[in-house]
Structure 1
């Protein structure tokens, strides 16, 4: 889910299409608050290093609570989505992929703690991790998996991004695309939208991301686009100077 606030994702995923195949029924548009649940689903469906993490969670909303939904609800954040118009009547409105970003990582992190997470801290108390559930426990807290418990601890103690990352750029991003829409050029197109927005509308010259270091294909993909490892940053962190962007 790769998720991105460096040091927070247990299994970020980055699978990106590489071979363009034009289809006028599929297009990119700006992400909106109404896409929130679609983003959450895609986040979960790609959360296990690109594969679905649905079997790893009882509380399947948790990955998206951190790594997807807040980007269409909080200040300084934005995103773009891929829409398949042939699926526009499904419950997710045909949204099949996304790129999410913020032009001010520190402000975004603070808004996460102050504005976004409090309702989820009540819904998923830390006591749910340590106490045994009973028939009297709320249904959403029963039979939690180890991955659920990891996320509950994370929302109660949200890590912040490395100073090294933020010194490289105040902007970060992450991207996820459902498997059947990968390898069709959409990953490059989504990142191009983020680069354009940050460069032309926000006046920035770079961004960074975190990825699963086991995902060698994703790393090669990023390198082809001009991303490079950031000296001193954590494993899996890569940065892009927009002058190096290979659109």
Structure 2
């Protein structure tokens, strides 16, 4: 079947995790960086449809999930939800470990699981929602990303949300150009990249 955008279904979760890993290294394949292929998804994809499935949308075709956008309407409330419902089990399953020195990055993500911030960020007042979006490389450049964000924006506006933000790695210049075309602006610059924001 041709690709379609539809609301998230629980059976999509494995496909979301796979795609998160496939695009997890500044837009490129992160498979070689992690011994545990699910870690990246645990941080940046999985909790969103569990906490609020109505703000996750997927692009699906005969191969399954080939694109998705996950989001929360309330970033501060989501951070508190993570601390109460998501991180405790993962912290128990993934005790802190040192760098094994083999180039893998599991220890970096495990440390983030144990130190995920719960304090409000400066952008939360004007841009309380945030999102993560990923597309399979073969769908990029065809308008699917624009349509996914448009679908999410409609759902956020229906809830009265005034703005959305996201983080982007400075190495991912293609993503930065994509967000600029959609009207995102730089809210803050960090050592790892930048926070972009969009008024809804």
| Alignment pair present for 1:225 and 2:195 | no
Displacement of 1:226 in angstroms is: 1.0
Contact 1:76/1:108 (8 A) holds in 2: no
Q: Mean Cα displacement is larger for which, 72-81 or 202-211?
A: 72-81
- TM-aligned CA distance change 1:204 to 1:112, over 3 Å: same
Question: Following superposition of structure 1 onto structure 2, how do residues 7-156 of structure 1 map, counting pairs within 5 Å?
Answer: 25-75=2-52, 78-84=55-61, 86-87=62-63, 94-126=64-96, 129-130=97-98, 146-156=104-114
User: What is the CA RMSD across the aligned residues, in angstroms?
Assistant: 2.2
Q: What is the rounded CA distance, in whole Å, between the counterparts of 2:110 and 2:46 in structure 1?
A: 16
How far the C-alpha of 1:211 sits from its partner, in A, is: 0.5
The TM-score normalised by the length of structure 1 is 0.74
Q: Is the 8 A contact 2:34 2:106 kept in 1?
A: yes
Task: List alignment gaps of at least 5 residues for structure 2.
Answer: none
Between structure 1 and structure 2, the one with the greater Rg is 1
- Runs ≥4 residues deviating over 3 A: 143-146, 232-235
Partner of 2:138: 180
- Structure 1 stretches lacking a partner, 5+ long: 1-23, 88-93, 133-142, 243-247
Other-structure match for 1:13: none
Structure with higher RCO (Cα < 8 A, 6+ apart): 1
Q: TM-score, normalised by structure 2?
A: 0.90
- Give, in whole Å, the separation in 2 of the partners of 1:161 and 1:65: 20
